[in-house]
Structure 1
Amino acid sequence: MLKDSFLKYLLLERNYSEKTILSYGIDLDEFEAYFKSVDEEFEFTSVDADVVRGWVLSLMDEGRAETTVNRKLSSLRSFYHYLLRQKLVAVDPVAKVVGPKKKKPLPVFVRDEAMNQLLDGFEFPQTFEGVRDKAMLEVFYSTGMRRAELITLRDEDVDFSALVIKVTGKRNKQRLIPFGDRLQEVLSAYLQERARFYSGECEAFFIRKSGVRLSPSSVNYIVKRYLSKVVTLKKKSPHVLRHTFATSMLNHQAELEAVKELLGHESLTTTEVYTHTTFEELKQVYEQAHPRA
């Protein structure tokens, strides 16, 4: 049988694992069951692209994930490449069949109430680390800057008189982010606390007690530690706070173009993903509140 010779080829010539070969076999069995249900006379060598597309659609109708469907299509593609090389078929029926596009997951964000609970209701330790960590969280939430941008932030980048932070983003592109009185107070309190422990010139705005800048992993740990106190999200990272900033801005009527500039996105398309998030929220509110939803 064609299928058996293909699986034997995967084992002996391609050195595929037994588990992988089993998956290929299951995929081919499913495809065969489908085309036989369409026409008993069909064989692997006689099906065309329309039959393959029909199989893909049937898998989608069954609720299979896009990744699963594309993996099965990849198995079929490898099978027909093998048949072509063996001159067992003249045409590859999978060649012009495109699998389903994988949906991009919507950005994960923290709701305003949870952020207020953390920043206003939670008692941060009255230590250097506690004051610093709160200031960092406030910066992430109030500016939407990236983790790398916060780590490389310097004292001279923060203008307390103009209430503006100069951020150096990807490809050294700089942008200005305004901030309000609330963040000014928090940052001033941090600098006062920092001066108590380190009087020398600092290599970064946010540092350890020793004056050394924070590492990416330590920033991740700090954010995850504090977000865990108010949310049960699987992902609790600085980037989640960036998403939170953008979503909160749009939910409070900020213009998309303005949010794009604040985030440092080059394309408006990148920023538009946050409008999907806010629309999902709107949909949930509608479904919960409207009597005929």
Structure 2
Amino acid sequence: MIDSFINYLEYEKRTSNHTVLAYRKDLEQALDFVSLSFSIKDLGECSHSELRAWIIDLVEQGLSPTTVNRKLATLRSFYKFLMRSKIIQKDPTYKLKSLKTPKKLPEFLQESTIESVLEEEVYESTFEGQRDRMVMEFLYLTGVRLSELTALKWRDLNLHEERVKVMGKRQKERIIPITMRLQRNILSYKKVFEERFSKIEGNEYFIISNKGEKSYPMMIYRIVRQYLDLFAQNTKRSPHLLRHTFATHLLNKGADLNAVKDLLGHANLAATQVYTHNTIEKLKAVFEQAHPKA
């Protein structure tokens, strides 16, 4: 049953490889637990009580509410699939409640900080330096996800029409406009790219390693941390921080929420609305500082 569900995720829903692996791991952990605790060899035979026992066990192991809720979401998706496939008649997760989690606002960089991070003088004129600069600029000026950046190819860039084509989650394609500044720096990066390797072909990856190979997540993480460490005091210094910053800065400048949703590639507004809290907090601070009766 797990294999059937995984095939459904991969080939019908076109879920990302990272998510598919996480779902499989969660379901295999659940199966191991019910097998050892209740001698149940098939998750389709589980009732509410066995699944609840697994959730309690996860909590007792010290897993965070966020992690437990993610695993619970995996169970819900799995049993929804079984119900739709008419393999089971009753969903055993319907009584399971998510754990309460503290609300955290997405961290973001102040405009002055990001300006310092993107200063030309920070980066060496070598291929590595200009590539690193492109990584930082592209993440902030387009708001793309890490996986979208590593998958990007030169053919996806259209400087003449000032846009880039990105393949997002579930193979959903979206178009993101690129600024004049980013266009100029792409051309500068292209020059050192061709000097280091060879004339660019459309199928070649946009961001590559020092050896000319496709970039990978840990490489991008290292680049981002290296330059954020110079200026940022945020606890999380990751590629996603630049995506958060992109969204927050747009909304702070009055961008339409639906437009930001489309730029980020979110499936619904709920995922985008979390960034409005940062904007509201900024407005509150201005109000309290400026209003005579605040």
Q: TM-score, normalised by structure 1?
A: 0.64
* Matched ranges for 1:67-216 at <5 A: 101-120=100-119, 122-199=121-198, 201=201, 203-216=204-217
Tell me the amino acid that sits aligned with residue 134 of structure 1.
R
Other-structure match for 1:240: 241
CA contact (8 A) 1:203 1:211 kept: no
Q: CA deviation at 1:290?
A: 3.5
Q: CA deviation at 1:124?
A: 1.1
Q: CA deviation at 1:100?
A: 7.8
Q: CA deviation at 1:167?
A: 0.2
2: CA distance, partners of 1:267 / 1:162: 27
Can you list the C-alpha shifts for 1:44-71, whole angstroms capped at 9, x where unaligned?
Answer: xxxxxxxxxxxxxxxxxxxxxx97xxxx
Tell me the amino acid that sits aligned with residue 129 of structure 2.
G
Can you list the C-alpha shifts for 1:108-129, whole angstroms capped at 9, x where unaligned?
Answer: 1111111112213643111111
CA contact (8 A) 1:163 1:178 kept: yes
2: CA distance, partners of 1:123 / 1:217: 21
- The answer on 1:282 being equivalent to 2:293 is no
For 1:167, what is the secondary structure of its paired residue? strand
Q: TM-score, normalised by structure 2?
A: 0.64
2: CA distance, partners of 1:191 / 1:136: 13
Superposed CA RMSD in Å reads 2.6
* Matched ranges for 1:43-82 at <5 A: none
CA contact (8 A) 1:194 1:209 kept: no
2: CA distance, partners of 1:240 / 1:273: 14
Q: CA deviation at 1:194?
A: 0.4
Other-structure match for 2:253: 252
For 2:170, what is the secondary structure of its paired residue? helix
Other-structure match for 2:92: none
Q: CA deviation at 1:215?
A: 1.2
Tell me the amino acid that sits aligned with residue 191 of structure 1.
K
1: CA distance, partners of 2:99 / 2:147: 34
* Matched ranges for 1:224-239 at <5 A: 224-239=225-240
Q: CA deviation at 1:144?
A: 0.3
Tell me the amino acid that sits aligned with residue 195 of structure 1.
E
For 2:184, what is the secondary structure of its paired residue? helix
Q: CA deviation at 1:103?
A: 3.0
CA contact (8 A) 1:140 1:242 kept: yes
CA contact (8 A) 1:167 1:176 kept: yes
Other-structure match for 1:221: 222
Identity %: 42
Q: CA deviation at 1:99?
A: 9.2
2: CA distance, partners of 1:277 / 1:157: 32
CA contact (8 A) 1:247 1:278 kept: yes
Tell me the amino acid that sits aligned with residue 243 of structure 1.
H
Tell me the amino acid that sits aligned with residue 128 of structure 2.
E
Tell me the amino acid that sits aligned with residue 229 of structure 2.
S
Other-structure match for 1:9: none
Runs of 4+ residues over 6 Å off in structure 1:
none
Tell me the amino acid that sits aligned with residue 246 of structure 1.
A
Can you list the C-alpha shifts for 1:184-220, whole angstroms capped at 9, x where unaligned?
Answer: 0011100100001111656411112322011100100
Gaps of 5+ in 1: 1-13, 15-23, 25-65, 68-95
Name whichever of 120-129 and 212-221 sits farther off: 120-129
Q: CA deviation at 1:233?
A: 0.5
For 2:205, what is the secondary structure of its paired residue? coil
CA contact (8 A) 1:135 1:186 kept: yes
1: CA distance, partners of 2:269 / 2:121: 36
